[in-house]
Amino acid sequence: MSTLYQSLAIILPITCAFSFLLMMIILAKGELCAGQRSRLSQQFSTLWSLSSLGLVSAITAHKTAVIAVVILALSVLLGWCLSIKQLRLAGKRAISLKLWWLSGAPLLISALIIVATHLFSAFAALLSALALTHWLMVKANHRLKVFDKLLPLAGVGILALMVCIYALQIWQYGHQPLLAQLTRTFIHMVGFALAGLLIWLLPALRNMEPTAGQLGATSLSLIIAGISVTELQFLLH
């Protein structure tokens, strides 16, 4: 059985790594004005905040590989230094993508080390990352409106795949004593994921602009669902 610290040490670094990649793709390939680029770059501080929480959880839990913890700490340190520098830049200036890659590369490496032993949680982290990235974009007042529909639809597909994979894993599990606990944890995961997805899809269904508050609630709900996924992994293994 996992503790909350163990679960956060797994789900948060992977989620932040996926979200970092998505943000970098948007910054590199998106048609952005200088103001949008600056506002999006400022949102990296949220990723470093969540990565810091994952780092503290990993240190507290004493279960994450030491090398992953050290590399994650390096990423958090570099990331905060760049985020502070970004906030101090005047006008619509933004830090170069090469410097962001310098801070994000250790985060990606740390996440890969964690995924190597917790592959079960990767889908949940990707789902959380999609919502988290959407939240960061809305906070930055983005103009790439196609993402307001694309990201929630991608979330629906990933959740459907998650439910099928995890339900199959539980169905194949032969040890009856833990079956009730597995089923209960699975229901918790599905409940929080569906709640988050409903909040996420509501603006699109009503042809409304998503708000930062809605997407913040979605991200939190999906991260909680991810915590349930890590608990499933510990129960199954």
Give the pLDDT confidence of 216-225 residue by residue, as tens digits: 999 999 999 9
- Are the CB atoms for 107 and 79 separated by under 8 Å? yes
Q: Check residues 145 and 11 and name the one with the higher pLDDT.
A: 11
Question: Does residue 1 have a pLDDT over 50?
Answer: no
pLDDT digits (tens, 9 = 90+) for 3-47: 899 999 999 999 999 999 999 999 999 888 889 999 999 999 999
Q: Measure the CA–CA gap between 101 and 131, rounded to whole angstroms.
A: 21
Is 213 or 143 the better-scoring residue by pLDDT?
213
Predicted TM-score of the model (pTM): 0.94
What whole-number distance in Å separates Cα of residue 38 and Cα of residue 179?
50
For residue 226, the Cα-to-chain-centroid distance in whole angstroms is 9
Q: What are the distances in angstroms from CA 92 to CA 27, 38, 41, 89, 113? A: 14, 6, 10, 8, 36
Q: Which long-range contacts (CB under 8 A, 24 or more apart) does 187-194 make?
A: 188/225, 188/228, 189/124, 189/225, 189/228, 189/229, 189/232, 190/163, 190/225, 192/221, 192/222, 192/224, 192/225, 192/228, 193/127, 193/159, 193/162, 193/221, 193/222, 193/225, 194/159
Q: Where are the domains of the chain?
A: 4-236
Domain 4-236 classification at class level: mainly alpha
